[in-house]
A and B are shown apart, each in its own frame.
Chain A
Amino acid sequence: MQAVALAVAVCFSVGATDSGVRLNDLSHRLMCQCGCAQLLGECDHMGCPSREPEMAELKAAIAAGLSDKEIFAAFSAKYGAVVLAAPTTHGFDLVAWIAPFAVFAAALLGTILLVRRWTIGKSEAAAQTADPAMDELREKIRRETDNSGQ
């Protein structure tokens, strides 16, 4: 009997810990709506009119077994998209995620191509400015030194 009670207690405590972790995680992906521009999980200003109601809604949603997506949809429907701490990954919001990496990749590629063009241009220029007389002299020295070695 004691073992069963312990098992039940452990199950509940595990559930409580999981929901606590999830609450912490989700509250850091939502914004407090009092105008403080802080994450819900970090809003700390005294007498905040929004934090407690929002946290209560979040706890209720977690307890009701809603998925993260469903919770975000419910909060967005009630408070608007500004309640989400980051843009979503669909529609125009996707541009927010893609643009930085696209610009970075383009700039990286552009720089690599530019440097390559400079280095190739330099070696070609070096080839063009090579003196044929000097080449001939080098060849002569090579031949003569080869002969002397024999």
Chain B
Amino acid sequence: MAAFGSFALLIALALAAWNLLAGAVALRLIATGQKAAISPERLADTARRAGIAGFWAVTAAAFALIWSVFTNDFSIAYILEHSNRALPAAYKFSALWSGQEGSLLLWAWLLGAYGFVLRLTHKQDVKLYAYAGAILAGIQVFFLAILCFAAPPFALFQGQIPEDGAGLNPLLQYPEMVIHPPMLYLGYVGFSVPFAFALGALMMRYPGEKWIKITRVWTMVTWLFLTCGIFLGMHWAYAVLGWGGYWGWDPVENASFMPWLTGTAFLHSVMMQEKKGMMKSWNVWLIFTTFLLTLLGTLLTRAGLVSSVHAFAQSSIGTWFTVFMGIVLAVCIFTYILQRDHLKSEQRVESLVSRESSFLFNNLVLLAACFVILWGTLFPILSEYVVGNKVTVGAPWYNAVAIPIGLFLLFLTGVGPLLPWRASSLRAIRRNFVLPSIALWGTVIVCLSVGVRPWKDGAIDQGHFYALVAFALSAAVLTAIFSEFLRGARVISKQSRRNFFAAIYLLIRRNTRRYGGYMIHIGVVIVVIGLAGGAFNRNVESEMALNDKITIGPYTLEQVGATQDSNANYNSEYARLDVSKGGKKLFQMTPEKRVYLASEQPQTMVAIHSTPEWDLYVVYEGTNPDTGQPIIKAFLNPLVSWIWAGVALMALATVIALVPSAKPGAQKGGNSGA
């Protein structure tokens, strides 16, 4: 199977190279009108078919690796290092992305899959798709070259082959790890497609904004995957790492967040290009930057440039990525300089207080946030280079620098929809801002009265201050968005004599993009409320003998048994804790510690009881070697479930925004028919 896999990768590389070269030659011939022995259209079609065949070749290689995992083929070094016989079947799939070589193969396969869909739908615009297909093939050549020459997943183990493998990293043996990396990769890789369309459209001086419409769908799908990937990662970190949090500003987390920010900026500013023919250069550079950031994130993860809990082993592929990024940047700059006159804006912003300028500021803040994260991630390297002193840039720095920018962005989320296009009168602005302002100050008063105070012992408490601002802004933004829904629904209700809920449904159905977008904003606000709850986290740690009790918030935890268990994959120790509130027993929790047999690595399995108000989060920290009693750490984390609920709404709303809007006439007819 190793030979089959390697051969499949080589064929895939040859096909991608043909796709790139033949595609480039054909497009050049079409652009210059030169004559050749073969018609350029036919040559371009062979390139497209090579791209489709290349996908099947990479699929064969991925299948070979999965097959090798399931058949415990430990002659392949990668399988030996990342799997073992007792590994449950679901996690055998995870082996595909648990190491450097496998994850690069997953990347190449996903890129092939995206390219496959793109090439099958080429009839939408044959020439633009040919450009995009050739650019995607160029990216694929790079990844396949790495897989064939720098990080081969089918390299054979040298020496006596052991009976069993080293097993999968215990941290990855968790259900979300079967979904989180592919989601994240779908997001990362997916940005290659809008990048290819943007670069292709610029190269061919594509007339009109149709390419923006094509790209928008790809970008939204990609953005959805990246969003889900990031939040699944957060949930995994929360449920598995056992430190009570979900985001540690780790360089690899940052690496996934940066393209999300620029991708989000692109999704907003692209509306300006569609509606007003503005920000054309800006949009092109946003998507170029987003793609480059996905590569940078991969470089950071794999080259050992920064220390991270996620980072793969250091390897030489960092040089490959650096060179490739250099080439991509050079191509982008060269194409832009050559074609920049094609990107002249048709209109300009007419007022500082308008929807257009709010988009500008929204983009500015998103890019500022991206810069802050990039700066924080790279500053240790910069400091070491400039003054020879390596420093750490951790959570305290990000909390101080990134949170104010995030709150400003939240403010703009509320303000943007309240401003009309072009220019606005002061009276109209005042009218739109009345309700949100009341909600803002009302929330401040309520928060202060229930004890959310931004000061402690005469000094400003930074966490509580930010939480108060976040709650107040969230209330204002929600009021602004709900007002938009109410206003629209009221008009529809009046016109069509429908009840309120039917009017809301119709409102969304008639403009899925706009109201789907608003619903995404509601999701973001709910996430922010959940994040702000983190300012009120508390925890308690204690060694607990039988019938010992600890209290946290309204809950009392009583140890009613500590026991052990084992299976073929791991040994475990766990405590049984009866949880009561006000003297009434509610439920039992069983935080656990596992030691995986193959890797001999320990792993915590956190017990979480989630309510809308807070999460009771209990960790089995181990046993005291002197007394043999379990050590339990309990956290009370307010509003965490709001984060996951907000993300679910964001995902649902993105799907709604992707559904084409119903035409008012069609909807009416359909309803009357019903």
Contact = CB atoms under 8 A, between A and B. Distances in A.
Same complex origin of A and B: yes
A119 B349 contact: yes
Nearest to B373: A100
Nearest to A118: B348
Among B244, B250, B392, B401, chain A packs the most CB atoms within 10 A around the CB of B392
Interface string B350-376: 111000010011001001100110011
B391 A44 contact: no
A80 B391 CA distance: 8
Contacts of B244: 42
A37 B308 contact: yes
A86 B394 contact: yes
B386 A92 contact: yes
B395 A46 contact: no
B397 A87 contact: yes
B385 to A, nearest CB: 10
A96 B376 CA distance: 7
Given A115-B357, A119-B349, A121-B348, A36 B392 contact: no
A84 B621 CA distance: 25
Interface string B99-120: 0000000000000000000000
A8 B393 CA distance: 42
A84 B391 contact: yes
Nearest to B619: A44
A92 B387 contact: yes
A128 B593 CA distance: 77
Contacts of A45: 602
A13 to B, nearest CB: 16
A82 interface: yes
Contacts of B383: 87, 92-93, 96
Nearest to A116: B352
Contacts of B360: 111, 115
A45 B170 CA distance: 12
A122 interface: yes
B368 A103 contact: yes
Interface in A84-111: 84-87, 91-93, 96-97, 99-101, 103-104, 107-108, 111
A44 B241 contact: yes
B619 A107 contact: no
Given A100-B375, A103-B371, A44 B242 contact: yes
Contact of B393 (A87, A91, A116, A118): A87
Contacts of A85: 392, 394-397
Nearest to A110: B364
A29 B394 CA distance: 9
A31 interface: yes
Contacts of B348: 118, 121-122
A115 B17 CA distance: 46
B71 to A, nearest CB: 33
Contact of A46 (B351, B376, B602): B602
Interface string A16-31: 0000000000001101
B368 A119 contact: no
A82 B621 contact: no
B371 to A, nearest CB: 6
B307 A35 contact: yes
B152 interface: no
A46 B593 CA distance: 9
Nearest to B363: A111
A115 B352 contact: yes
Contacts of A87: 379, 383, 391-393, 397
A45 B379 CA distance: 27
Interface string B610-627: 000000000101100000
B672 interface: no
Contact of B390 (A82, A116, A118): A82
Among A37, A47, A85, chain B packs the most CB atoms within 10 A around the CB of A37
Contacts of B219: none
Interface string B205-248: 00000000000000000000000000000000000011111001
Contact of A84 (B242, B352, B392, B604): B392
Contacts of A43: 243
Given A86-B400, A100-B372, A91 B387 contact: yes
Contacts of B243: 38, 42-44
A42 B242 CA distance: 9
A58 interface: no
B606 to A, nearest CB: 10
B309 interface: yes
A47 B364 contact: no
A87 B360 CA distance: 32
Contacts of B124: none
A11 interface: no
A68 to B, nearest CB: 12
Contacts of A62: none
A46 B621 contact: yes
B389 interface: yes
A144 to B, nearest CB: 31
A101 B619 contact: no
A41 to B, nearest CB: 9
A112 interface: yes
A83 B352 CA distance: 46
A86 B397 contact: yes
Interface in A116-131: 116, 118-119, 121-122
B30 interface: no
Interface string B628-644: 00000100000000000
14 contacts: A28-B395, A31-B392, A42-B245, A46-B602, A47-B602, A85-B395, A96-B379, A96-B383, A100-B401, A107-B368, A111-B364, A119-B350, A119-B351, A119-B352
Given A107-B367, A115-B349, 9 more contacts: A39-B394, A44-B619, A46-B621, A81-B391, A81-B392, A96-B375, A96-B397, A100-B372, A108-B361
Interface of A: 28-29, 31, 35-39, 42-47, 80-87, 91-93, 96-97, 99-101, 103-104, 107-108, 111-112, 115-116, 118-119, 121-122
Closest 7 pairs (CB-CB, A-B): A85-B394, A86-B397, A118-B348, A42-B243, A86-B396, A46-B602, A104-B368
